[in-house]
Structure formats: structure tokens, C-alpha cells
Structure 1
Amino acid sequence: MIFEWDDDKAAANLRKHHVAFELAELVWDDPAHIIVFDRYENDEERWHAIGLVRGILILTVVHTLPTGDDENSIRIISARKATADERKRYEAQDD
């Protein structure tokens, strides 16, 4: 999987949410991560990936899914610690 992002957006995200996009990539290393549709905005679908990073931190990563010629490329839009509801949704998989 190839990850891409806007460098200015990544810097702004780090300042606001204290999560680097390089760390956010690790969500996809979690075999139990989930992908949830968020919304349609700016002519593209936005999705949430929710997963465990480094065994201790559940992150939510807003991203686009691969399409067309970029079938292996995910564009990260934002990343942050998961909300309580997002953590519950992630943890509910084990039930």
C-alpha cells in the first residue's frame, strides 16, 4: 500500500491532533482495523480507518480509497485519536 498526503495538511494535523501521518499509516498494519464510510465531499468518498497502533493507541484516519490508476494508493486527509464511540465500534468486532 502506498500512502500520500499534502505536506501542509500533515503539518496542520500534527499541530492540531498531535498525530503524524507517518504514524497514521500504521493503522493498516492492524489486522483488525475497520474501514467505515464517512461522507461524500469534494467529488470523492471519504472513509474512516480505525485501528490499533503500536498496541496502545486507537487512531481514526480519514482517507480516500484507491481508485482507477491509483489502486494501491491511499490519500490521508486527517488523523486523530479515536473518539469514545469510534473505540467502541472498533472493540465491538470482538463480540
Structure 2
Amino acid sequence: MKFEWDENKNRQNIERHDFDFNDAEEIFEGPKATFPDDRFEYTEDRYVTLGLLGDVVVYVAHTYRDEVIRLISMRKATVRERRIYEKKVFLGHGKD
């Protein structure tokens, strides 16, 4: 699995959310739920992955460019997002 990101965006993400894109691989290797991000009309298809970083459920916004996952944002999941993660991953209601 390959990842890429804008390093300036990563620095902003660390300052704002205290999560480093360099740690994203752990999220994608473990139990996760991935679904389209259709909240807005973006110029490209965007996705959300909810997964674990240590014992914290994390929200990752990303897109796919060929075989590469391009990271956009990474933060601690909200209570609502944690419930979605638990439902999709642990109760089996939803696809990855």
C-alpha cells in the first residue's frame, strides 16, 4: 500500500489535529470502514476511512490516484463517526 500527501498539508494537520500522515498505514492495515465522501461536490472522488490508530478511532479523508492513496486530512473521529465505525466493523453492517 502506497501513500502520498502534501507535506505542508501534513504540517497543518499535525498542528490542527495532532495526527501525522506518516502514521496512516496503521489505520489502513487494521479493521476499517471505507465509504465515499459525498458531503460536497469535489473535483475528484473522495473517500473516508474510519480505523484505529492505537486505541483511537481516526477519520481519514483521502482519494485514490492509480494505486496510491493520497491523504487529505486525518483527525480523531467524532462520537457519531465512532458509532459508524463500530457498526460497520464490529457488527458487520457495511462493506469495507
Output one character per residue of 1:39-63: Cα deviation in whole Å (capped at 9) or x when no partner: 341x201110100122x11111000
**Could you tell me how far 1:65 is from its partner in structure 2?**
2.2
Partner of 1:86: 81
Q: TM-score under structure 2 normalisation?
A: 0.85
Please tell me the root mean square deviation across aligned C-alpha atoms, in Å.
1.2
Q: Does 1:16 align with 2:16?
A: yes
Shift >4 Å, 4+ stretches: none
Partner of 1:62: 61
Partner of 1:36: 35
**Could you tell me how far 1:38 is from its partner in structure 2?**
0.8
In 2, Cα distance between equivalents of 1:65 and 1:4:
10
In 2, Cα distance between equivalents of 1:86 and 1:51:
10
Considering fraction of residues, name the structure with more strand: 1
Q: Does 1:2 align with 2:2?
A: yes
The count of corresponding residues between Structure 1 and Structure 2 is 88
Q: TM-score under structure 1 normalisation?
A: 0.85
User: Structure 2 regions of 5+ residues with no counterpart?
Assistant: 92-96
